[in-house]
Amino acid sequence: MILAIDGPAASGKGTLGKRLAAHFGLPHLDTGLLYRAVALSLLEAGQDLTDEAAARRAAEGLTATALDDDRLRGRAMGEAASVVAALPPVRAALVEFQRSFAASPGGAVLDGRDIGTVICPEADVKLFVTASPEERARRRARELTMRGEAADEAQILADIRTRDARDSSRATAPLLPAPDARLLDTSNLTVDEVFAAALALIAAARGQHTSP
């Protein structure tokens, strides 16, 4: 089974993707880390994030080990990744990486922005996970605080709105639900409730009955 999970930043798709992968015994790929790794590579080399040629080279040279860097998880790298992700050459260079992962024996769980629409349009199940910008800002602030980083919730909310607009309006692979995606609004749900709701949606999509 290939499970595609898309949604905006801090919607809970990454947490859900990991849990579903463990539940079904499938490998999981947080595709956002790919773009963060490209951004980090550019920043380390002192190159501009909008330099398409340099970004393409960084994307083409990306390896799985680069995704283990803890620096990729920070707020600043998330913003940088959003800039890099808008570059068509970068997205094109990373398509094969993601599709190869999706072709893992038995299937895989991938979460990102364009999994159900571009990377795996043939996915067995597609979920579009969302939440209100305010709730996503609260979650991100809480996450940063737990990591020992400064968290200005008002600024985080402004950043989220800016990032949503950039991700949704870019010409290449904009953030939007696939026509056959099942919507999961996590605004007022706990982590366990999100997981249970996702299992129900997956079961419905596959014509099955299941429980957490």
**pLDDT at position 208, please?**
67
Confidence class for position 38, pLDDT limits 50, 70, 90: very high
Report the SS3 class of residue 95: helix
Residue 138 in any domain: the answer is: yes
Contact 33, 97 (CB under 8 A): no
Residue 18 maps to a domain? yes
pLDDT (average), residues 11-38: 96
Range of the domain at 134: 2-201
Structure confidence at residue 150 (pLDDT)? 84
Q: Match 């990032």 to its residue by tokens.
A: 163
Confidence of residue 212 (pLDDT cuts 50, 70, 90): very low
Amino acid letter for position 117: T
**DSSP three-state, residue 186:** coil
Rounded distance, CA 130 to CA 116, Å? 14
Average pLDDT over residues 72-82: 86
Q: Is residue 137 part of a domain?
A: yes
CATH number at residue 113: 3.40.50.300
* Residue 102 domain flag: yes
Q: Provide mean pLDDT across the span 162-173.
A: 88
Q: What is the DSSP letter of 116?
A: I
As a whole-number percent, the residues of the chain with pLDDT over 90 amount to 80
Residue in this structure with the two tokens 């800016």, named with its chain if needed = 162
Quick check: 8 and 167 in contact, CB under 8 A? yes
> What's the rounded Cα separation, in Å, for the pair 185 and 5?
13
Residue 207 lies in a domain: no
Band the pLDDT of 189: cuts 50, 70, 90: very high
- Number of separate domains in the chain: 1
Could you tell me if residue 210 is inside a domain? no
In a domain, 176, yes or no: yes
Tell the burial category of 29 from Cβ atoms under 10 Å away from its Cβ (0-12, 13-18, 19+): buried
Residue 208 lies in a domain: no
Poorest-pLDDT segment among 49-58, 117-126, 139-148: 139-148
Average pLDDT, the chain: 93
User: Which pLDDT score is estimated for 211?
Assistant: 46
